[in-house]
Structure 1
Amino acid sequence: MKLRTLIFLLLLCSILPALTFAQKKEKNKTDKKEKGLLLQDFNPSDSSSVLRLPSLRFENINKVAYYYDAAKLAKIKRYRQDKQWDKLFISLYDYISHFGINNFLKHQDMELLWLLARVSEYVGHVTITKDVYTLIIKHYRGDLQKALLHYDSLTKFEKDLYVNIEHYYKLVQKRKAIDTLKPPENVLQNMGEAINSPLEDYGMTIGGNNDNIIYFTSQRLEKEGGIEGIEIGNEPKNENIYYSMRDTEGIWSPAKPFEGINTKYNEGSPCVSRDGKTLVFVRCHSPEGFGDCDLFISYKKEDGTWTPGENLGESINSYAWDSHPSFSLTEDTLYFASDRRGGFGGSDIYFSVKGKKGNWGKAQNIGPIINTQKSELSPYVHPKHNVLYFSSNGQLANFGSFDIFKSFQVDAYWIEPKNVGPLVNGPGNEFYFSTDSKSAWIYYAKSTLRNIEDLDLHSFPMPMEAKPNNTIRFSGKVVEPTTGEVFEGIVSVIDLSDGVEVAPKYLREDGTFEFELIDQKKYLLVIEGDNFFKIEEMFFVDGETEIWMSTSPPLM
């Protein structure tokens, strides 16, 4: 028993680098002067790294439904009564790390999370404190006001203060006056009538390794290809898979139904392998299904036609709704969404791993870092990077109801998701993110605030926040040189190499700002405010960097 305890303590120490101020070892920073900017290198062991692993890993999630250990709980109670805070922290951390899904649904177990948040903050583990409050906000089913307020105070000078979209467009117009800067491409662009119909269009994917074909889901009243739609209300509404081809001038052809796959039942959410020969899709209300909607698979034949859809079986499909498939980077894992019992909330993201004989294994829940007590939908794994995109209404920092988030995979763990920003998400709903093979263009379904149910497909050049490789932290502070006073202002960053836009942000209350950029690239930094001259500087990102900038007051 003592050996097991020692091993756990060693493991715990290995994932708590520099968490207390007394333990944190500062790297000797080498200052560099470049074009009036004071550049400093970041400490690579800083716990605030963009690709930081989550503090709690939850290895038990798919092994036990509910974790309970009376002896460990008694020890936690004793340490709390005796005010042995360091031991209480370690015991709580150990116990909560073993949680199953049902622990997140039990009030008494969520109270342990609250206790860990308070104790970890008291003993100086600030990073763990933030992570635990994040979990509480995602999963606690009681009054969250206290957790939200305290989390806000802990992250006050870390938040992204994005400029609203109307102000963004005004900035775009102003930039047209800058001779050296090509104005950024438009964002939030609808794909037009060739693709979108008067009803809902969504659930799209790029055609494997062919960026010039898209497959997507559409509800259309007309009968296509002799297929009769199931009546919804008084109208025969088809929910089928359609496709469109892009010509050499970049024009998408009028959408056509996917012959051989569509039936009188509802089909949608296509997912195509990178060689273009395997299709996984969803069929609903079919007699071959186990539930409302199931995942089916089809293979492309030599003559270009497709085999009849075959149900992927009970290892993946359930009695409930199963949909939104996406292959992993190596295509040996299939991600999808399901609202089956036993999850964290309304619908969760699951995955199935293909065995050596080609059979798909039992579906597993992706865990509490990605899934919340609300709903997670439309997972999409980038074709070249271990980055998961998905839609959620339960993550932190939503702009509307459902927003698109992304999570990087580090050492086989999905890390804390980040909102892909206001140049993609808005006050309505966003789902079904997808991208071409070069990460140049994004495709996704978006609704307006006026009609949040009516989805249209949108496509435009990928903003920086949605990129799969913007993992370098670029941070800075703007101050008045003599008094140290900070001012209100807006910070814009433009990728000069590709003309990629970075969503502008307001300076924080302490004068700081922060962006996540792509390494080894040249950027233009523009900072403007009412109380100082506009600052424009070009800079080159070479590893994580912070800058300190001095303002000059405007001439009277």
Structure 2
Amino acid sequence: MSTIQKLERRKQYDQVLPLLEKYVGNFGIENFYKDTNLLWRLGQLYERQQQQEKAISLYRLVLKHHRSDARRVQSYYDSLEQNTRDYYVPLNYYYELVEYRKKITTFKPPKGVYLNMGNAINSPYEDYGPALSRDKELLIFTSKRKFKGINSKPNEDLFYSNQVNGYWQEAKAFGKPINSIYNEGSACISRDGKTMYFARCEAPDGYGNCDLYSAQLQPDGTWGQIKNLGPQVNSYAWDSQPSLSPTEDTLYFASDRLGGFGLSDIYFTHKRKNGDWAPAKNMGPVINTRESEVSPFFHPLYQVLYFSSRGQLFNFGDFDIYKTYKVNGRWQEPLNIGPLVNGKGSEYYFTIDTDSKNLYYARSEADDIENLDLFSFPLPMEAHPLAVTKVEGTLVDSVTQKPLSGVISIIDLDNGIEISSKYIRPDGSFEFSLIDNSRYMLIIQSSDFFTIERELSLQNDTSLQVMTTLIDYNIPMVFENIEFDPMESDIKPEMEPILDEVAYFLIDHPTYLLEISGHTDSAGNPDFNQELSQDRANAIRRYIEQKVNLDEGRVIAIGYGSSKPLREEKTEEDKRINRRVEFRVEKPDTPKK
């Protein structure tokens, strides 16, 4: 280390980089909170070498593990990430957007953020720790509803419910020997349904205050052969919340044993050839933080691990659920699964069915953090294990090339369900992770332009550049394809897409007003021209009002006849230009003239 410091004083950074890289590469767990300054310094050296991704990953580690003032690092990291992070719209605003579009589209809006699983499952006491059998017909969970345990404290027991014709039946306790006067909970079950892993606390054969156990299904349908997983897995602390990998040779769990990164960490153990479990290992500094990580869940089909954390860098509430992918043997930076699941309270104990259709999890309301209930919800896109195909793009003004602001929404056209809306980033960029080989509708809304819709048939990662032009509210807009037949005021089919766009703009901007003015050329009787132009403006007004059910008075229609020509009429082209319909949008803060 002294050599590194000497080279730094001499500003010989090219020589410092490989030495510091090697030094940090040999970090033990304690170094991640004792020596976060070295992570910061290595990150800066990577930046000097234009290795931005490596630098940012080190800054993330600093923020996850520091135990001192890191406001300078946080501020710098935020400035780097402002054009790559997600800016989700507030949930109440998201549902306002959905309600607006319900009036104008056939897309199905979400039915709710989450659904309480009801009285057959939940009780007035804490209910949590859901696990599903592979056939989705058995739900196992933990509850404190029934008995007093040792020291007269509420006793945690394991319960189960069977699904019959789509309905969960009244939950029942497992009974002895699974449940006892000690605390049992947080179970998971093997693919064949014959082995169950669970936690038992304060038992006389335990190594710590909570240990992991296994149980076997007996020929008569009862459970027995209960076995402590032993000191290679369990510690002298709290070990709980097991989850099996799809191959069932690796068991993930949470523990607050000494020597971890934070208050509790995610650990794993693998099964040896002789059937014994190997010594448990910590999952490392990308997954674990100086705070708490709990309730791991490994997807039953894919290499995706879900867990709950309060120490990752982007939380909506207290504990949020994250997912991480294993790529080339390394776990990637965890991703928050979004506001449709994660709220202002805490979310724990996440599980997904084998079809990736529904999720089940325990959560507390922000105003009642002491009680947990079980909830289910159709799996949102952010939580889906196959949502790994990137759709990214930028939104810029076609004239100035400057980035525009607004809200991006994506609708899954195959299922008719919206995906969480996001604000466009400061540089005009946006990004979503979606499922490949699927159809989507991209909807961009802003106060600066009409709503943009674009359909995507996703095939591999997709990059888009969306060009639009800002609305100048002082200049009336004239659309070329709004031309009436001679002497007629009927709306033609080719006009409807433009008129629909104007109508949708008014729905998305409920405080704006619209003035429609009709104009004719100078040929013919002036009184007739004025009446014809008024009829045409009225026809457009009626179409827009009926299309989106607008309040009366938001659209004004005026016929000017030939009194306001744009050109002196020397040619037929001059006459054609003067025959027009103008649209003027009035912003709410624009004074009337």
Q: How does 1:149-188 map to 2 (within 5 A)?
A: 149-188=75-114
Question: Is 2:462 aligned against 1:538?
Answer: no
Displacement after TM superposition at 1:500 (Å):
4.3
The one-letter amino acid of 2:428's match is G
Displacement after TM superposition at 1:186 (Å):
2.4
Task: Confirm or deny: 8 A CA contact 2:162 2:169 kept in the other structure.
Answer: yes
Displacement after TM superposition at 1:113 (Å):
1.2
Counterpart of 2:523 in structure 1 is none
Q: How does 1:375-524 map to 2 (within 5 A)?
A: 375-524=292-441
Give 1:252's match in structure 2, choosing from 168, 173, 188.
168
The one-letter amino acid of 1:229's match is G
Displacement after TM superposition at 1:242 (Å):
0.7
The one-letter amino acid of 1:269's match is S
Distance 1:404 1:251 in 2: 26
The one-letter amino acid of 1:453's match is E
Counterpart of 1:37 in structure 2 is none
Task: Confirm or deny: 8 A CA contact 2:443 2:453 kept in the other structure.
Answer: yes
Distance 1:486 1:77 in 2: 43
Q: How does 1:7-22 map to 2 (within 5 A)?
A: none
Task: Confirm or deny: 8 A CA contact 1:218 1:241 kept in the other structure.
Answer: yes
Task: Confirm or deny: 8 A CA contact 2:358 2:378 kept in the other structure.
Answer: yes
Question: Is 2:2 aligned against 1:100?
Answer: no
Give 1:230's match in structure 2, choosing from 120, 131, 150.
150
TM-score (norm. length: structure 2)? 0.77
Give 1:218's match in structure 2, choosing from 119, 143, 148.
143
Distance 1:499 1:147 in 2: 42
CA-atom RMSD in angstroms: 1.5
Distance 2:247 2:440 in 1: 33
Distance 1:530 1:243 in 2: 52
Displacement after TM superposition at 1:85 (Å):
1.2
Give 1:121's match in structure 2, choosing from 41, 44, 47.
47
Distance 2:415 2:385 in 1: 15
Displacement after TM superposition at 1:295 (Å):
0.5
Question: Is 2:139 aligned against 1:139?
Answer: no
Any gaps of 5 or more consecutive residues in structure 1? 1-72
Question: Structure 1 pair 438/206, CA: closer, same or farther in 2 (3 Å)?
Answer: same
Task: Confirm or deny: 8 A CA contact 1:85 1:123 kept in the other structure.
Answer: no
Bigger shift: residues 473-482 or 417-426: 473-482
TM-score (norm. length: structure 1)? 0.83
Distance 1:296 1:267 in 2: 10
Distance 2:149 2:258 in 1: 30
SS in 1 for 2:224: coil
Displacement after TM superposition at 1:231 (Å):
4.9
SS in 2 for 1:389: strand
Task: Confirm or deny: 8 A CA contact 2:32 2:65 kept in the other structure.
Answer: yes
Distance 2:113 2:231 in 1: 41
Counterpart of 2:547 in structure 1 is none
The one-letter amino acid of 2:143's match is S
User: Of the two structures, which has the highest relative contact order with CA contacts closer than 8 Å and spacing of 6 or more?
Assistant: 1
Distance 2:382 2:260 in 1: 29
Identity %: 48
Task: Confirm or deny: 8 A CA contact 1:474 1:514 kept in the other structure.
Answer: yes
Distance 2:243 2:117 in 1: 22
The one-letter amino acid of 1:210's match is D
Distance 1:155 1:550 in 2: 24
Counterpart of 2:264 in structure 1 is 347
Distance 1:352 1:150 in 2: 37
The one-letter amino acid of 1:474's match is V
Work out the number of aligned pairs and report it.
472
Task: Confirm or deny: 8 A CA contact 1:187 1:461 kept in the other structure.
Answer: no
Q: How does 1:318-337 map to 2 (within 5 A)?
A: 318-337=235-254
Give 1:88's match in structure 2, choosing from 16, 19, 44.
16
Larger radius of gyration: 2
SS in 1 for 2:3: helix
Displacement after TM superposition at 1:469 (Å):
1.3
The one-letter amino acid of 2:149's match is G
Distance 1:288 1:536 in 2: 63
The one-letter amino acid of 2:45's match is V
Distance 2:403 2:169 in 1: 53
Displacement after TM superposition at 1:259 (Å):
2.5
Displacement after TM superposition at 1:515 (Å):
0.4
Distance 1:118 1:89 in 2: 10
Task: Confirm or deny: 8 A CA contact 1:280 1:297 kept in the other structure.
Answer: yes
Displacement after TM superposition at 1:180 (Å):
3.8
Counterpart of 2:482 in structure 1 is none
Any gaps of 5 or more consecutive residues in structure 2? 472-504, 506-582, 585-593
Distance 1:546 1:178 in 2: 28
Distance 1:88 1:190 in 2: 56
Displacement after TM superposition at 1:308 (Å):
4.2
Distance 1:499 1:278 in 2: 39
Displacement after TM superposition at 1:503 (Å):
0.9
